[in-house]
C-alpha cells in the first residue's frame, strides 16, 4: 500500500520481502469501512468487491451480537469479507502496475543512515541505498530492532492456534458442537471453507517459547479435544500457525530517515479485526507525506505529523482491544461486565459508538482549529458531476469549492480545484489532503492560503 502511494507521486520504490513467495496464511479475513473507503479513493474497490463479499453484521466488539447500525456516516456501510492473501495480491499488483519494484527472498540484516540516506545490508551481503526506509516488517520487526526503538506493552499471556485443514465429522455435527462451545468460549471456531476444509481457531495450552515455530497437527487435535471434547477428525492441513495476545506500541515511529508502519509499530490481539486495517491506514497517511518530503515539496515538519496523527490512533486501538479481551474472559467478573455492556449496546448510540471506533470512521486528527469537520475524513459524497472519491484517484489534494470564488492557483501542481456542489456538504468549501481528511473548511481565501501552505508547502 505504501509503495503504491509513493508511486502515485513518481517516487522510485523498492520493496524488500524476506519471504521467497507470498504467504498462504490467512490471518485477516476482511476490510472495515475506512479501509473500504481508501480502496474506493484509489480506484481499487471494484477489484476487491469482485474477489470478496459484503455483509452487515454486529458482534465486532468482543463478539457481542448486536445489529449493524443504520445510516453510518459513510457510503460504504458494510464489512468486506476477503482473505488476506487476496488483499496482498491486489495491492502488490497495484503497486507493480504503478512502477514499484518488489524483490522477494531479500532479507534485511543491517542498516546504516546519515543525513542524506539509508544503506540496507541484505542476507547475501548486497547493499541497497535509498533516501528513506520504511519498516513494514511485522510485530517482530527487524528494522525496529536494528534502530533500537523500544516496544513496551503487555507480553502474550494466552496463545491461539490457527490453521486450515480437512475435518471428517459431518458438517451438521461440527456446526452444532461449535455453537455449543462458543456459548462460553469465543476464541474457538471451525469455519467451513468448502471441499471439506475448515478454518480452525482453538486456544493453545500455553505460550510457546519459540513463537516462530509453527504448531503441529497433533497440537490442534489435542487442544480441540480439550476444548470441544472431540478433534472433529481433522487432517490434511494446508497451513498451521499461532498468534498471541501481546499488546505493544513503539516508543516512536521515526528515527532519522527510517520510519515504522503497521505491525512493526503496534501489535494487539485480533479481536475486532483491526490489525490489517490499521496498517493500511498508516500507509495511507504516510505515503503522500513521505513522497512530498522526497520530492522536496513538503512544508517543514510535515513528515513529523505522521507519528503525531497515527500513534494516538494506534494507542486507542490498543486500549479498545485490551477492553475486549477483558470481557471475553470466562471469569465471573468480566462476564458481569459483558452482560452490562450487552444491555448498554441495545442503545443505538452505544452500539454505533463501538462500530464507528472499530471501523475507524470516527478518527479525527487534531489540526488545532476549525469546524468539527476539520481533521476528519470526508465520506464519499455525490456531486453534480459524479462522486467525490472518483476525483481522488491520483493521490493529490482537492479543493472542493461550492462558491466558485476561491483559488488554489499557486498549488495547481499538487491540488486539484473542483468547483461543484453537493446537497450532502454543509460547508461552502473544503480542502482535502490526499488521504481524504479535511484540512480546512470555509470560504475565506486568506485562511485557505494558510492551510494550503501548511499542508502542501510554498506556492509556485
| 317-339 burial code (b ≥16 CB/10 A, e <16) | bbebbbbbbebbeeeeeeeeebe
How confident is the prediction for the chain on average, in pLDDT? 94
| pLDDT beyond 90 at 183 | no
Phi, psi (deg, nearest 5) at residue 4: -65, -40
Give the pLDDT of residue 24. 86
CATH fold of 2-154+248-358: FAD/NAD(P)-binding domain (3.50.50)
pLDDT range class, residue 184, cuts 50, 70, 90: confident
pLDDT range class, residue 110, cuts 50, 70, 90: very high
Phi, psi (deg, nearest 5) at residue 414: -130, -20
Give the pLDDT of residue 55. 92
pLDDT digits (tens, 9 = 90+) for 290-308: 999 999 999 989 999 999 9
Q: Are 19 and 233 in contact (CB under 8 A)?
A: no
CATH architecture of 382-456: 3-Layer(aba) Sandwich (3.40)
- Please tell me whether residue 271 adopts helix, strand or coil conformation: coil
pLDDT range class, residue 358, cuts 50, 70, 90: very high
pLDDT range class, residue 28, cuts 50, 70, 90: confident
Q: What is the mean pLDDT of residues 242-267?
A: 96
Which of 66-70, 185-189, 193-197 shows the lowest mean pLDDT across its residues?
A: 185-189
Q: What is the mean pLDDT of residues 152-171?
A: 93
| pLDDT beyond 80 at 393 | yes
Give the pLDDT of residue 260. 98
Rounded to two decimals, what is the model's pTM?
Answer: 0.93
pLDDT digits (tens, 9 = 90+) for 191-234: 999 899 999 999 998 887 777 788 999 999 999 999 999 999 99
Write down the domain spans for the chain: 2-154+248-358, 159-244, 382-456
Rounded distance between C-alpha atoms, residue 143 and residue 149, angstroms: 9
Q: Are 380 and 389 in contact (CB under 8 A)?
A: yes
pLDDT range class, residue 140, cuts 50, 70, 90: very high
Rounded distance between C-alpha atoms, residue 289 and residue 59, angstroms: 35
Give the pLDDT of residue 27. 83
Q: What is the mean pLDDT of residues 433-445?
A: 97
Q: Are 112 and 118 in contact (CB under 8 A)?
A: yes
Rounded distance between C-alpha atoms, residue 439 and residue 399, angstroms: 10
Q: What is the mean pLDDT of residues 125-147?
A: 97
Give the pLDDT of residue 304. 97
Span 159-244: which CATH code? 3.30.70.2450
Give the pLDDT of residue 410. 94
| pLDDT beyond 90 at 244 | no
pLDDT digits (tens, 9 = 90+) for 397-418: 999 999 999 999 999 999 999 9
| pLDDT beyond 90 at 356 | yes
Amino acid at each position: 500500500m505504501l509503495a503504491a502511494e509513493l508511486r502515485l507521486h513518481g517516487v522510485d520504490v523498492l520493496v524488500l520481502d524476506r519471504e521467497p513467495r507470498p504467504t498462504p496464511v490467512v490471518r485477516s479475513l476482511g476490510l472495515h469501512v475506512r479501509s473500504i473507503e481508501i480502496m474506493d479513493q484509489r480506484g481499487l474497490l471494484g477489484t476487491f468487491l469482485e474477489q470478496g463479499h459484503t455483509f452487515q453484521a454486529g458482534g465486532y466488539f468482543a463478539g457481542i451480537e448486536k445489529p449493524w447500525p443504520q445510516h453510518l456516516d459513510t457510503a460504504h456501510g458494510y464489512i468486506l469479507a476477503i482473505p488476506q492473501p487476496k488483499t496482498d495480491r491486489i495491492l502488490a499488483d497495484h503497486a507493480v502496475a504503478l512502477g514499484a519494484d518488489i524483490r522477494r527472498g531479500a532479507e534485511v540484516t543491517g542498516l546504516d543512515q546519515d543525513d542524506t540516506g539509508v544503506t540496507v545490508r541484505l542476507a547475501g551481503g548486497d547493499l541497497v541505498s535509498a533516501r528513506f526506509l520504511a519498516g513494514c516488517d511485522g510485530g517482530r520487526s527487524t528494522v525496529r530492532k536494528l534502530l533500537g526503538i523500544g516496544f513496551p506493552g503487555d507480553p502474550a499471556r494466552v496463545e491461539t492456534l490457527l490453521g486450515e485443514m480437512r475435518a471428517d465429522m459431518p458438517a451438521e455435527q461440527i456446526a452444532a458442537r461449535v455453537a455449543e462451545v462458543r456459548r462460553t468460549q469465543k476464541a474457538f471456531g471451525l469455519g467451513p471453507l468448502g471441499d471439506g476444509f475448515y478454518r480452525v481457531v482453538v486456544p493453545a495450552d500455553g505460550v510457546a517459547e519459540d513463537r516462530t515455530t509453527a504448531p503441529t497437527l497433533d497440537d490442534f487435535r489435542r487442544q480441540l479435544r480439550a476444548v470441544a471434547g472431540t478433534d472433529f477428525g481433522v487432517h490434511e492441513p494446508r497451513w498451521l500457525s499461532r498468534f498471541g495476545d501481546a499488546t505493544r506500541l513503539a516508543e516512536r515511529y521515526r528515527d532519522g530517515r527510517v520510519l515504522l508502519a503497521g505491525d512493526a509499530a503496534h501489535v494487539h490481539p485480533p479481536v475486532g479485526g483491526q490489525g490489517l486495517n490499521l496498517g493500511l491506514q498508516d500507509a495511507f497517511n504516510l505515503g503522500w507525506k513521505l513522497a512530498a518530503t522526497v520530492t522536496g515539496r513538503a512544508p517543514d515538519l510535515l513528515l513529523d505529523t505522521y507519528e503525531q496523527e497515527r500513534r494516538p490512533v494506534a494507542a486507542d486501538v490498543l486500549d479498545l482491544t485490551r477492553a475486549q479481551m477483558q470481557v471475553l474472559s470466562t471469569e465471573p467478573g468480566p462476564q458481569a461486565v459483558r452482560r452490562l455492556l450487552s444491555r448498554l449496546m441495545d442503545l443505538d448510540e452505544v452500539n454505533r459508538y463501538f462500530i464507528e471506533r472499530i471501523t475507524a470512521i470516527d478518527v479525527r486528527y487534531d489540526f488545532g482549529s476549525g469546524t468539527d469537520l476539520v481533521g476528519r475524513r470526508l465520506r464519499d459524497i455525490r456531486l453534480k458531476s459524479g462522486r467525490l472519491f472518483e476525483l481522488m484517484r491520483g493521490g493529490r489534494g482537492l479543493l472542493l469549492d461550492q462558491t466558485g470564488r476561491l483559488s488554489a492557483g499557486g498549488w495547481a501542481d499538487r491540488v486539484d480545484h473542483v468547483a461543484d456542489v453537493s446537497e450532502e456538504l454543509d460547508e461552502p468549501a473544503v480542502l482535502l489532503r490526499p488521504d481524504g481528511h479535511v484540512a480546512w473548511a470555509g470560504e475565506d481565501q486568506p485562511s485557505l492560503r494558510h492551510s494550503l501552505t501548511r499542508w502542501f508547502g510554498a506556492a509556485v
